[in-house]
């Protein structure tokens, strides 16, 4: 996953909000800005290559949209000279200044897939690659390429080494929630669960959680049917590592798994990507065992 650095820039455009707006307000905002572009044509940066859709929380601080990325502000416009003064901006237009940041850029080949691309990045791909959002994502339409992109501002995930095992931070499926990049989530055993698998369910409850509770199990690692299970996360081919960690816990215990992950991170490893990169379950188990003994 490549990182792109963008220097500080400013955008002048039309500002809209999810508050009180019907679905499709962004499209209306774009039409309004394009229809009145003559108002700010002289303020647009010479040679601008496309249009920006900047997102922000309601605080206008360029932090991510609120309520699971569903509510916030949207500024559609073009790049302008950062030195433009407030009094020179026409009525009805707004200027936002964006600081220099690192980004991951994702191409949107079909706008119908926009939400899937957005969610796959913020809920999985960024964390998987040891990254976390450092602000709100931006949309950009490249006029030269006639292509649409999402720019995700990122920074390396900061993981702290804990000295005491907290069992409520080991998910039912065997993921170590302590090192998840959703810092406001208190795991699937808590009251504020942001797990992407749970959010994909109509009732926002993970199938693995439901199954464990129905069997009165502390986790999937206590289940006699673990190795052949196809429930919830175990339906996914890419979940081999998750099942492996459950198998490891089943064989060596929660303390050994906690030690393995803490020692991995202390050694500069990317949990859980480095385990995923190991092909066989047997080698994954050996890898965890070696780190559990360090």
Residue 134 belongs to some domain of the structure: yes
pLDDT-based confidence at 273, cuts 50/70/90?
Answer: confident
Please check whether residue 161 lies inside any domain of the structure: no
152 and 264 in a single domain? The answer is no
At 51, list the tokens.
């249009």
- Residues 241, 115 share a domain: no
Q: Are residues 140 and 193 in the same domain?
A: no
Question: From CA 95, how far away is CA 116, in angstroms rounded?
Answer: 29
Is the same domain home to 93 and 234?
Answer: no
Helix (H, G, I), strand (E, B) or coil at 278: coil
What pLDDT is attached to residue 156?
85
Q: What is the pLDDT of residue 276?
A: 87
151, 177: one domain: no
- Are residue 191 and residue 86 in the same domain, yes or no? no
pLDDT of residue 23: 72
In-domain check, residue 172? yes
What pLDDT was estimated at residue 160? 66
The residue segments making up the domain with residue 196 are 167-292
For residue 266, is pLDDT > 90?
Answer: no
What are 284's two structure tokens? Answer: 């994954």
Confidence of residue 241 (pLDDT cuts 50, 70, 90): confident
- Residue tagged 């109509």 (tokens): 202
Pull the structure tokens for residue 76.
């559609």
39 Cβ neighbours under 8 A, 6+ residues apart = 90, 92, 93
| pLDDT for 208 | 92
Model confidence at 129, pLDDT cuts 50, 70, 90, reads: confident
Query: In terms of domains, do 58 and 102 share one?
Result: yes
Residues 6 or more apart whose CB falls under 8 angstroms from that of 86 comprise 95
pLDDT bracket for residue 183 (50, 70, 90): low
pLDDT number for residue 197: 73
Residue 59 has pLDDT above 90, yes or no: yes
Residues 246 and 284: their CA atoms lie apart, in Å, by 12
Given 96, 125, 156, which residue is the final one in a domain? 156
SS3 content of the chain, % helix, strand, coil (to 5): 40, 20, 40
pTM listed for this prediction:
0.69
Compute the distance between CA of residue 287 and CA of residue 261 in angstroms, rounded to an integer.
11
């Amino acid at each position: 996953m490549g990182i792109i650095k963008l220097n500080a820039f400013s955008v002048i455009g039309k500002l809209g909000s999810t508050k009180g707006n019907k679905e499709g307000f962004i499209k209306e905002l774009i039409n309004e800005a394009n229809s009145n572009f003559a108002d700010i044509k002289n303020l647009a940066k010479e040679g601008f290559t496309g249009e920006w859709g900047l997102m922000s929380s309601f605080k206008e601080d360029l932090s991510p949209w609120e309520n699971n990325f569903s509510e916030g502000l949207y500024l559609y416009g073009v790049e302008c000279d950062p030195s433009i003064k407030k009094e020179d901006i026409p009525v009805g237009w707004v200027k936002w200044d964006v600081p220099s940041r690192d980004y991951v850029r994702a191409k949107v080949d079909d706008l119908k897939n926009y939400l899937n691309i957005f969610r796959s990045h913020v809920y999985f791909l960024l964390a998987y690659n040891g990254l976390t959002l450092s602000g709100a994502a931006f949309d950009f339409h490249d006029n030269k390429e006639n292509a649409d992109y999402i720019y995700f501002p990122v920074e390396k995930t900061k993981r702290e080494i804990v000295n005491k095992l907290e069992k409520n931070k080991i998910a039912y499926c065997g993921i170590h929630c302590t090192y998840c990049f959703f810092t406001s989530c208190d795991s699937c055993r808590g009251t504020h669960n942001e797990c992407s698998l749970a959010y994909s369910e109509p009732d926002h409850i993970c199938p693995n959680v439901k199954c464990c509770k129905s069997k009165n199990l502390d986790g999937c690692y206590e289940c006699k049917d673990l190795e052949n299970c196809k429930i919830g996360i175990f339906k996914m081919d890419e979940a081999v590592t998750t099942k492996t960690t459950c198998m490891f816990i089943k064989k060596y215990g929660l303390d050994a798994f906690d030690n393995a992950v803490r020692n991995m991170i202390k050694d500069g490893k990317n949990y859980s990507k480095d385990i995923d990169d190991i092909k066989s379950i047997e080698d994954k188990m050996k890898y965890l065992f070696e780190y559990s003994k360090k």
